[in-house]
Chain A
Amino acid sequence: MLFNSIEFAIFLPLVFAIYWLLNKHLRWQNLFVVLASYVFYGWWDWRFLILIAFTSFCSWGSGLLINQSPKPKRWLTLNIVVNLLILGVFKYFNFFVGSFCDLFGISNSLVLQVILPVGISFYTFQALSYSIDVYRKRIAPTRDVVAFFAYVSFFPQLVAGPIERATNLLPQFERQRTFNYEEAVDGMRRILWGLFKKIVVADNCATYVDQVWNNYANESGSTLALAAILFAFQIYGDFSGYSDIAIGSAKLFGIRLKDNFLTPYFSRNVAEFWKRWHISLNTWFVDYVYIPLGGSREGRWKTIRNTFVIFLLSGLWHGANWTYVTWGLYHALLFVPLILLGRTKAYSGVATWKQIPQILLTFALVVLGWIIFRAPSISDAWGYICGMFQWGTLRSVYRFFIPSDLYIWPKNILILICICIEWFGRKKPHCLANIENLPLLKCRFLRILLYALAFISILFFRGGLHPFIYFQF
């Protein structure tokens, strides 16, 4: 079930109503969350439910065993192995076998005919974090299997994050939730903003980007550069839009999820970008891989090594393709000068007007990385980048501003609106937060009118239907 679908528009209010009707019975309410989440997830393919139930059960059981057993590490290792084995079989088996066969010129007859379950990387990591946190005594193991299943499968963040931690989400399922008007309104605002970013910004960009990528060898340098920039907005609108809808939907149920994006394209260097982009995944890798490896405490060279490890793993997490690994490697390389110069923590707070040159430079570097990420293969990425810098890019740069250039002008305006709203709201938790404090919007009815008009605008300016990019991960 997609967030931008009619099914979800019916599903969400229905679940909302029943959920709050069960408010006085915590266990039943949690059970209903599990049921609703399984319906949501099973909408793609009911067979995936077996997998998520198994993953949930293993992690829940391992939590109890880690706590009771004299050899807790054994149970933790077992749970990690089981979870990664499932992930490996479904996501990486064909990739590694194929790469091995390509390397040694062997014919590959071991191709597994399996469909990649939607969001498997997300919920596997979420389930893993619980058992690791129990092992590290950061959280007490829960005996409440229903609450744990709700934690792993909570539908707003199930298929594309944010990847939650048991320390934040599980306690929320173990205590009574209360309906909060301000939180619910903020949730609705966040859903609205997420829909705008996905349906208007990302889906409009996607059409142009796909057109250019399908025929990149014959496109001019400026067209390729523009498509690369638009892809940056597509993936941002797509993924952060999803996160906003997830966080907003969760708020309707009295659940607070962690932020996943904090205006990442206003970052002033790559290190800051990674503190603002897909925060839940990056903090996961930092907490469970980078810090156990020594983090930045054991000298610069080990810091560099550890940085390469987490970026390569992060690239691989995104998909079973060398392009993702290369993308991770590219970002690790961008980190090296920052580590050597000691500038990984150079910036705090939000960007100012004076820092726009740094922002643009960082954005350009990130866009270059997105080309590798978007390309079907390394050779395509290289061909695209070469094509972008061919003679004619600068000569025809004026085409950026011509309305007729592949109908991009309306899309540019929409992106511009998005950038402006995000820029002026960059100090807030999300850009539409607390808009009731604006002088013009103090009246409740005016605000509702604004939301209604915004919703209609989303329908009018919607792009073609494109699935969420991060579903494939």
Chain B
Amino acid sequence: MKKFLQDIAFGLCLIIIVWGAYELIYSRTTKSSYSYKYQYVQTHRNDIKVLLMGNSHMENGVNPYLMGDSIFNFASSGRWIYYDDLLIQEFVPQMQNLKMIILALGYAIPLTNYHNHEIKDMAPQYIYFYANQMHKFYDVFPDNIIHSSALLSGVDILSPYVPQCDSLGYDPSLGQSDDWKNIHNVKKTMISDDKKFSQDTLECKEHILNIAKICYQHNVQLIVITTPCSNYYLENVTEEGLKMTRDIIQRVQKCYPIEYRSYLSDSDFRADSLYFNSSHLNSIGTDLFSLKLARDIGLIK
């Protein structure tokens, strides 16, 4: 038994050493979409006129190339509005030519519990990251999203695992991924229990209010949008949930001038063929939506 346990311990040590070497040699040296976008906004802060913010619905669902010049997609998969708020606080005051921010507010965002996900220390970052990877191994959407916190902390540990975006921040790779592709499957975490999240809804409102305030102070137009979703997703959308989102926007609108456009059930996006999965557009859907959005808000005629 002793010999066997020694072998196991030795094998585990080897696994940890090889994994660590991989981490140091490859993971840490490979650029990710997150680090690329962060650096892009830092270096082009005076060139960008329109900034697209939000989560995967924006990152994979809006293509800046089709909307005009000086537009950058700064959205990231899995980002909760807390991080949009932090990034806007950090960058908007420095961006002298910024005219507009388009923020994607997914239907489930105000209803989703993303508490306790502010992780800035290295050790919890790693623990969360590997926990997240394990969740991926199970094909379960993680409860705590680390992506944006990794970006903010500068610990670029997600590099080899995250898809690479194009030069304007648009990431079409969701549509090529084998995983997650099932339009009929509406993930549990995308549709949350309306009754449970009053605290998060309040917090979400505070973040939007904060974003609206910064935009107002710096003379930047804020447009909040909800991207289109498939019929299968809409079957799970409740009136209470929609009302909660509308209420948040209306309360913010009482204080600051923000525009809200919901494309959630837009009649132009009812075909299944426009979707990658229940709530994400595929490349065809993205192109159509980008053009429609650009026309609606006056970026193109």
Please report A residues at the B interface, Cβ cutoff 8 Å.
Answer: 5-6, 20, 179, 181, 184-185, 188, 207, 211, 407, 444-445, 448-449, 451-453, 455-456, 462, 464-465
The closest CB in chain B to the CB of A17 belongs to: B5
CB–CB A185/B138 < 8 A: no
A207: chain B residues within 8 A (beta carbon): 178-179
**Extra pairs beyond A185-B4, A462-B137 (17, CB < 8 Å):** A5-B138, A179-B1, A181-B3, A185-B7, A188-B8, A207-B178, A407-B178, A448-B11, A448-B14, A451-B11, A453-B14, A453-B18, A456-B22, A464-B139, A465-B137, A465-B138, A465-B139
Please count how many residues in chain B sit with their CB below 8 Å of the partner chain's CB atoms: 19
B4: chain A residues within 8 A (beta carbon): 179, 181, 184-185
A20-B1, A179-B1, A185-B7 are contacts. A452–B138 as well, Cβ < 8 Å?
A: no
B19 within 8 A of A: yes
CB–CB A449/B14 < 8 A: yes
B91 within 8 A of A: no
Minimum-distance CB pairs A-B, first 9: A452-B14, A465-B139, A207-B178, A452-B15, A448-B11, A452-B11, A464-B179, A184-B4, A179-B1
B122 within 8 A of A: no
A444–B7 alpha-carbon span in the complex (Å): 9
B138: chain A residues within 8 A (beta carbon): 5-6, 465
Interface string of B274-289 (1 = CB under 8 A from A): 0000000000000000
B10 within 8 A of A: yes
A449: chain B residues within 8 A (beta carbon): 14
A456: chain B residues within 8 A (beta carbon): 15, 18-19, 22
Residue A448 contacts which of B7, B137, B179 (CB distance < 8 angstroms)? B7
B300 within 8 A of A: no
Tell me which residues from 251 to 282 in chain B have a Cβ below 8 Å from any Cβ of chain A.
Answer: none
CB–CB B178/A448 < 8 A: no
A164–B85 alpha-carbon span in the complex (Å): 60
Interface string of B18-50 (1 = CB under 8 A from A): 110010000000000000000000000000000
A181-B3, A181-B4 are contacts. A6–B137 as well, Cβ < 8 Å?
A: yes
A223 smallest CB distance to B (angstroms): 15
B86 within 8 A of A: no
The closest CB in chain B to the CB of A453 belongs to: B18
Of A444, A448, A462, most B-chain CB atoms within 10 Å: A448
CB–CB A452/B178 < 8 A: no
The closest CB in chain B to the CB of A199 belongs to: B137
Interface string of B57-98 (1 = CB under 8 A from A): 000000000000000000000000000000000000000000
B82 smallest CB distance to A (angstroms): 28
The closest CB in chain B to the CB of A6 belongs to: B134
Please report B residues at the A interface, Cβ cutoff 8 Å.
Answer: 1, 3-4, 7-8, 10-12, 14-15, 18-19, 22, 134, 137-139, 178-179
The closest CB in chain B to the CB of A23 belongs to: B1
B3 smallest CB distance to A (angstroms): 6
B160 smallest CB distance to A (angstroms): 10
A-B contact pairs, 6 of them (CB 8 A): A5-B138, A6-B138, A20-B1, A179-B1, A452-B12, A465-B137
CB–CB B10/A445 < 8 A: yes
A6: chain B residues within 8 A (beta carbon): 134, 137-138
B9 smallest CB distance to A (angstroms): 10
B259 smallest CB distance to A (angstroms): 40
A188: chain B residues within 8 A (beta carbon): 8
The closest CB in chain B to the CB of A445 belongs to: B10
A434–B69 alpha-carbon span in the complex (Å): 65
A465–B4 alpha-carbon span in the complex (Å): 31
CB–CB B15/A455 < 8 A: yes
The closest CB in chain B to the CB of A206 belongs to: B178
A464–B22 alpha-carbon span in the complex (Å): 22
A451: chain B residues within 8 A (beta carbon): 11
The closest CB in chain B to the CB of A208 belongs to: B178
CB–CB B139/A448 < 8 A: no
B178: chain A residues within 8 A (beta carbon): 207, 211, 407, 464
A407: chain B residues within 8 A (beta carbon): 178
A452–B179 alpha-carbon span in the complex (Å): 27
A453–B267 alpha-carbon span in the complex (Å): 53
A211–B137 alpha-carbon span in the complex (Å): 20
A177 smallest CB distance to B (angstroms): 12
B139: chain A residues within 8 A (beta carbon): 464-465
The closest CB in chain A to the CB of B16 belongs to: A452
B15: chain A residues within 8 A (beta carbon): 452, 455-456
The closest CB in chain B to the CB of A211 belongs to: B178
Residue A452 contacts which of B3, B18, B22, B137 (CB distance < 8 angstroms)? B18
A455–B221 alpha-carbon span in the complex (Å): 53
The closest CB in chain A to the CB of B2 belongs to: A181
A179-B1, A453-B18 are contacts. A448–B10 as well, Cβ < 8 Å?
A: yes
A465: chain B residues within 8 A (beta carbon): 137-139
B1: chain A residues within 8 A (beta carbon): 20, 179, 181
A455–B11 alpha-carbon span in the complex (Å): 10
A445: chain B residues within 8 A (beta carbon): 10
B14: chain A residues within 8 A (beta carbon): 448-449, 452-453
A456–B15 alpha-carbon span in the complex (Å): 7
Of B10, B11, B134, most A-chain CB atoms within 10 Å: B11
